[in-house]
């Protein structure tokens, strides 16, 4: 029976670590596995740089899957920005192109099995249910869950192979488009400081009107357009709240090594949202 193996990289730590894990522990599978990245064409520059670096360290090319149409075209059809209740950005720009890519490869292989490797960690094994496909020809595999590999193991793995963490973790909690609506307010402020041009583009997509807001989502943050977010008094308040949360996190019994690896930008418990897109953030 023919087999097709595929691993989708997001540009984040978990899926990247999984690629190195498979290469080290499942070398025969790694040789047969296609590495893919669904490029929305709105990713952070750091993600593109990191993927190029990962290719070199893995010694294997990464297939870039592009959306059929641009974000702007899809946005004009939907008429509103994506939001948690309607994540059309993930569906249209990642899921559909990815499924077509798998289906085309599956047909090319003929009858057989498709194995999809997903970087869900052991400490978040409850997310496995949300990552199970309804396509009966796709067989999901969760090596980190099967081998009891958690967050600290993932970080150590990336450090040990020399590729390290993506640079955006210095100021951002997760991978994804620069205008991802799942970003924290602090992430938005940091985006403005790190990439003012991208922040300006994100702000350009917004339309905020008290009457029309009832008919759909026109701002990335519900009820808080970016032009309001960046008012000095709001920035000051957000940074103050962020510092307080970081202090609380440091006072918890968090492994010292993990704190050092993340520096001052620790993961906030409020940002470990159960509804985030697995596709984008693993």
Helix (H, G, I), strand (E, B) or coil at 35: strand
Look at phi and psi of residue 244 and say left if phi exceeds 0, alpha if psi is from -120 to 50, else beta: alpha
Sign of CA dihedral 7, 8, 11, 13: negative
Q: How confident is the model at residue 258 (pLDDT cuts 50, 70, 90)?
A: very low
Tokens of 275: 């509804």
Q: Mean pLDDT over residues 250-271, rounded?
A: 45
Q: Mean pLDDT over residues 6-14, rounded?
A: 95
CA–CA separation, 163 and 17 (whole Å):
10
pLDDT tens per residue, range 25-39: 999 999 999 999 999
Q: How confident is the model at residue 180 (pLDDT cuts 50, 70, 90)?
A: very high
227 exposure class (CB count in 10 Å sphere: 0-12, 13-18, 19+) = exposed
> What's the pLDDT at 131?
72
Tokens of 9: 């990289």
> What's the pLDDT at 105?
78
> What's the pLDDT at 3?
85
- Residue pair 245/268 in contact by the 8 Å Cβ criterion: yes
Q: How confident is the model at residue 119 (pLDDT cuts 50, 70, 90)?
A: very high
pLDDT tens per residue, range 208-233: 554 554 455 689 998 899 999 999 99
50 exposure class (CB count in 10 Å sphere: 0-12, 13-18, 19+) = buried
pLDDT tens per residue, range 102-112: 888 777 656 67
Q: What residues does each domain of the chain span?
A: 2-167, 185-281
> What's the pLDDT at 277?
59
> What's the pLDDT at 257?
42
Percent pLDDT > 90 in the chain is 66
pLDDT tens per residue, range 65-113: 999 999 999 999 998 999 998 999 999 999 999 999 988 877 765 667 8
Strand spans (E) along the chain: 2-9, 33-38, 62-65, 112-117, 138-141
- Residue pair 188/161 in contact by the 8 Å Cβ criterion: no
> In terms of CATH architecture, what is 2-167?
3-Layer(aba) Sandwich (3.40)
Tokens of 274: 């159960």
pLDDT tens per residue, range 139-153: 899 999 999 999 999
Q: How confident is the model at residue 171 (pLDDT cuts 50, 70, 90)?
A: very high
> What's the pLDDT at 212?
52
pLDDT of 53 > 60? The answer is yes
- Helices marked H in 171-225 — which ranges? 185-194, 196-204
pLDDT tens per residue, range 193-208: 999 999 999 999 997 5
């Amino acid at each position: 029976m023919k087999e097709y193996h595929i691993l989708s990289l997001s540009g984040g730590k978990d899926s990247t670590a999984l690629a190195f894990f498979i290469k080290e522990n499942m070398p025969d599978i790694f040789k047969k596995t296609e590495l893919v990245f669904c490029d929305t064409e709105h990713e952070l520059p750091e993600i593109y740089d990191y993927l190029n670096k990962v290719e070199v360290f893995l010694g294997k090319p990464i297939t870039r899957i592009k959306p059929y149409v641009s974000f702007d075209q899809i946005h004009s059809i939907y008429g509103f920005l994506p939001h948690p209740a309607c994540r059309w950005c993930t569906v249209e720009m990642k899921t559909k192109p990815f499924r077509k890519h798998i289906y085309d490869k599956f047909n090319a292989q003929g009858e057989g099995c498709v194995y999809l490797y997903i970087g869900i960690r052991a400490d978040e094994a409850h997310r496995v249910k949300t990552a199970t496909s309804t396509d009966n020809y796709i067989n999901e595999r969760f090596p980190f869950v099967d081998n009891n590999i958690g967050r600290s193991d993932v970080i150590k793995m990336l450090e040990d192979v020399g590729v390290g963490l993506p640079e955006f973790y210095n100021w951002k909690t997760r991978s994804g488009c620069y205008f991802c609506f799942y970003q924290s307010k602090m992430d938005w402020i940091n985006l403005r400081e790190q990439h003012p041009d991208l922040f300006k583009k994100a702000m350009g997509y917004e339309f905020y009107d008290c009457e029309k807001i009832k008919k759909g989502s026109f701002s990335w943050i519900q009820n808080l357009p970016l032009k309001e977010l960046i008012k000095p008094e709001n920035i000051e308040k957000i940074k103050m709240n962020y510092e307080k949360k970081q202090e609380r996190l440091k006072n918890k019994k968090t492994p010292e090594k993990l704190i050092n690896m993340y520096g001052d930008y620790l993961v906030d418990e409020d940002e470990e949202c159960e509804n985030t897109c697995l596709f984008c953030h693993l």
